[in-house]
């Protein structure tokens, strides 16, 4: 079965909006696991806009399933991953001004740094993947860098979903998945996936793992909002009863 990695960054985004201590991403670890998550994914960004260093410690301690740490290829992040030793690391590009990870990692342009980071982290027994655009030359560079897996960036597909460009984006993902598999790389995918655009991605050849965050956490608001309001109404009603 294809593994589902649940990205819980945006639970921390909600917390950081108030700079207090709730909601805590660790609560999401427990509920995601109860829902059947095969993996917990978090992105420790350089600017710490959502996940904090203490969240990484807490998530590593709490999770019963493997933890996949997304990080930029910087000395600081590679040192953190080397010290904390999550089950998996996914190297991503990172720009401070971006709202989310906008494109894939340019493995060709940063080849030496990526290869060195992979050697260091693979040497610690961490499973390393690279988050790349679905392009043959990036797949081939990933293979040469020595990683075990590529995560194909589905953002362009997700943006094109429902337009005449969706078929073309899907074809790019299929071709990249085939190329990665031929090279002996495991195929993962993620970014921008939601309940509508997910089914065609599940059909990608050789797909082993999906990482989904924003839309899943957003959906949890709506699936869970009714129960949350009912809970608050119940608290108010009970407290009124003793007033
Ligand atoms: N995979 C990678 C490598 C990512 O950087 C992200 C976003 O943090 C995701 C998957 C999940 O994307 P989304 O939040 O759009 O589902």
Ligand 1: residue of 3, 93, 211, 215 to mutate (most ligand atoms within 8 A of CB) is 211
- pTM across the whole model: 0.95
191 is known as an active-site residue: yes
pLDDT digits (tens, 9 = 90+) for 119-133: 999 999 999 999 999
pLDDT digits (tens, 9 = 90+) for 186-231: 999 999 999 999 999 999 999 999 999 999 999 999 999 888 899 9
Q: Is the CB of 6 under 6 A from ligand 1?
A: no
Q: Is the CB of 7 under 6 A from ligand 1?
A: yes
Peptide bond into 156 cis (omega under 30): no
CATH number for the domain spanning 83: value is 3.20.20.70
Q: How many domains does the chain have?
A: 1
Q: Which domain holds residue 32?
A: 3-240
Residues in the chain: 243
Distance between Cα 123 and ligand 1 center (Å): 25
Q: DSSP secondary structure string, 113-171?
A: HHHHHHHHHHHTT-EEEEEE-S-HHHHHHHHHHT-SEEEEE-HHHHHHTTSTTHHHHHH
C-alpha gyration radius of the chain: 19
182 is known as an active-site residue: no
């Amino acid at each position: 079965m294809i593994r589902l990695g649940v990205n819980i960054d945006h639970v921390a985004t909600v917390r950081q909006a108030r700079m207090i201590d709730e909601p805590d991403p660790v609560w999401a670890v427990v509920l995601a696991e109860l829902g059947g998550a095969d993996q917990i994914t978090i992105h420790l960004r350089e600017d710490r806009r959502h996940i904090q260093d203490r969240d990484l410690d807490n998530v590593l301690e709490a999770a019963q399933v493997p933890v996949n740490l997304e990080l930029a290829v910087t000395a600081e992040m590679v040192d953190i991953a080397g010290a904390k030793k999550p089950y998996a690391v996914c190297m991503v590009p990172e720009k401070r001004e971006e709202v989310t990870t906008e494109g894939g990692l340019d493995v060709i342009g940063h080849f030496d740094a990526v290869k060195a980071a992979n050697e260091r982290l693979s040497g610690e027994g961490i499973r390393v993947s690279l988050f790349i655009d679905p392009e043959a030359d990036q797949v081939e560079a990933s293979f040469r860098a020595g990683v075990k897996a590529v995560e194909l960036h589905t953002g362009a597909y997700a943006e094109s979903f429902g337009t005449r460009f969706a078929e073309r984006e899907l074809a790019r993902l299929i071709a990249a998945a085939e190329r990665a598999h031929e090279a002996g790389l495991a195929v993962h995918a993620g970014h921008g996936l939601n309940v509508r655009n997910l089914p065609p991605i599940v059909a990608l050849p050789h797909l082993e793992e999906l990482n989904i965050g924003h839309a899943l956490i957003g959906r949890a608001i709506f699936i869970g909002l009714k129960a949350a309001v009912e809970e608050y109404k119940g608290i108010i009603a009970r407290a009124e009863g003793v007033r």
